[in-house]
Structure 1
């Protein structure tokens, strides 16, 4: 056989061998237990999850299966609809995790009313819900949803997080967890996801940068000036003016960062970072006291 033809055949064989496993991993080839089958599915781009469903237009119901591949027995999973925003906070969620006795718990919860993910009714009916941990390591939530006209095309969110003392704990907010949201169209069978930075993520970034510049740079620089430059007689009163400038500008930037944090908190009902909030309040109070002391002394010297 011609050498070039042999090389071509080998290349084609190698390409097919690489593509076949990839095709086998798509949601459409997955086999569920109990003879369950779904006409529509989408591989979600984050957290190795997929959503499968059958939509019944005659009674506005949808039979869904939310699957997390390679799930951990020490993690919980959740899939939710949120008609008001693309966020987990305020969503109508289905939650599942493995109980210490080995059983799989599945239930519903509204995250605006139950921030600790305790069981509760949703704004729409869920006639049935169950979950299983498959032999190949997938955790799956099965449910029937009684949809409304507004829910046939709406926001969806999915998450996973660690268990904490037998209850669902706080999930990460960065990486894939911060991007696991989008929309689902039960009628047309389409799913879209948010790939870029959301408005809330931008506000988080602004909040972090402002506070880093204020409390982490400008305020410490002002302290360093007061501590080390005042010993030089040649510096005269200039060191004090620089000190006040750094402290007041740092405080002003800090107020902007603090206000951004307050805004983020008001837009995230059910989510609370107590340690972060308490430390921020202490730093803000101490900074306020220090700036007012420096400013009072500054005006005293001017007088």
Structure 2
């Protein structure tokens, strides 16, 4: 029986580790492309529901990339750019995409001057080839191959989205997330930062959400169940097993509430991005855990007297 308990403990520990690892992964890692293109590196950009995927070839200093922006529509334009002069649109070397009045996706390059940007087609300071764009459902994707110099392999990046006025991109919002869509990128190492060096808070919250729920539903609550199942048969463990069981279940529920809260915050910060199976499983677990704790709060005094 003790061997069974050890086996169960190892099993639940493995499940918890896999659970935590799964939700620590980036959202971009679960994205796919219809052309079956595979990118070795990707990053979740911190605002505007945007993601960057790329392959870097050190022998030629080329970067094959895909910029994806979700929760958009055919009436919006999207853009991604490198800007060695600073974390701003002015001076950036930009890739732009929109859908014209005939319904055809248009992708092109444009350098952004210091004046009022017009997003008119133009050549960049580096060579760009194979540029194209797709609009599938509510997400834009820009594809391109960049021939970069050494000083552009680690530099500033900017991304934007805005409304269309016929076949002409209009000015984007100048506040909120549109003012925070800047950061740095190193194509060689895959490292990125947001907003001039601050870490990606959304990624931290996602990792926290995964760890909290792994500890709660994957470790503490199963451990409490195993204590009740395997220790209560030993007379010497009575009533200690019961208090250990309650402690694991109660602490697991408290940690689970914290994980639930971070999940709600992540959902509110990512409109349009939904994982229905994960959400439904989370709702079911939280409801069952709440029911158990509610019942325990009513019957705990009587159980203490009985034990």
Residue in structure 2 matching 1:121, options 104, 120, 123: 123
| 1:169 corresponding residue in structure 2 | 170
CA–CA separation in structure 2 for the residues paired with 1:156 and 1:24 = 22
State the match for 1:131 in structure 2: 133
* TM superposition score normalised by structure 1: 0.56
Q: Distance in 2 between matches of 1:77 and 1:129?
A: 14
Describe the superposition over 1:73-132 as per-residue Cα deviations: whole angstroms up to 9, x where unpaired: 111000000011110011000000111211100000001188200000000000220000
CA distance in 2, matches of 1:76, 1:22: 31
Across the aligned residues of Structure 1 and Structure 2, the Cα RMSD in angstroms comes to: 2.8
Structure 2, unaligned stretches of length 5 or more?
A: 1-12, 199-307
SS in structure 2 of the partner of residue 54 of structure 1: strand
Structure 1 runs (4+) deviating above 6 angstroms are: 18-25
- Name the CA distance, whole Å, in 2 between partners of 1:180 and 1:196: 13
The structure with more radius of gyration: 1
**Aligned counterparts of 1:99 and 1:45: Cα–Cα separation in 2:** 28
Q: Secondary structure of 2:39's match?
A: coil
Residue pair 2:101, 2:166 contacting (<8 A) in 1 also = no
Report Cα offsets for 1:43-69 as digits up to 9, x if no partner: 001000000000000000000000001
- For these two proteins, the number of residue pairs brought into alignment is 185
Q: Counterparts of 1:126 and 1:166 in 2: how far apart (Å)?
A: 23
Contact 1:179–1:195 (CA under 8 A) maintained in structure 2: no
Residue in 2 that maps onto 1:33 = 34
- After superposition, what is the alpha-carbon deviation per residue over 1:133-158, rounded to whole angstroms, capped at 9, x for unaligned? 124x2100000000000000000000
Q: 1:57 to 1:87 in 2, by over 3 A?
A: same
Deviation of residue 21 (structure 1)?
Answer: 9.8
User: Is 1:188 the counterpart of 2:195 in the alignment?
Assistant: no
The range that moved more, 69-78 or 116-125, is 69-78
CA contact (8 A) 1:87 1:181 kept: yes
1:195 positional shift: 6.8
Distance (whole Å) between structure 2 residues aligned to residue 121 and residue 37 of structure 1: 28
CA distance in 2, matches of 1:79, 1:73: 17
Deviation at 1:20, TM superposition (A): 10
Q: Do structure 1's residue 101 and structure 2's residue 94 form an aligned pair?
A: no
Deviation at 1:35, TM superposition (A): 1.1
Within-5 A mapping of 1:1-303: 26-112=27-113, 115-135=117-137, 137-194=138-195
Q: Which has the higher contact order (CA 8 A, sep 6+)?
A: 2
SS across alignment from 1:127: strand
TM-score (norm 2): 0.55
Report the CA distance between 1:165 and its aligned residue: 2.9
Equivalents in 2 of 1:149, 1:32: separation in Å? 29
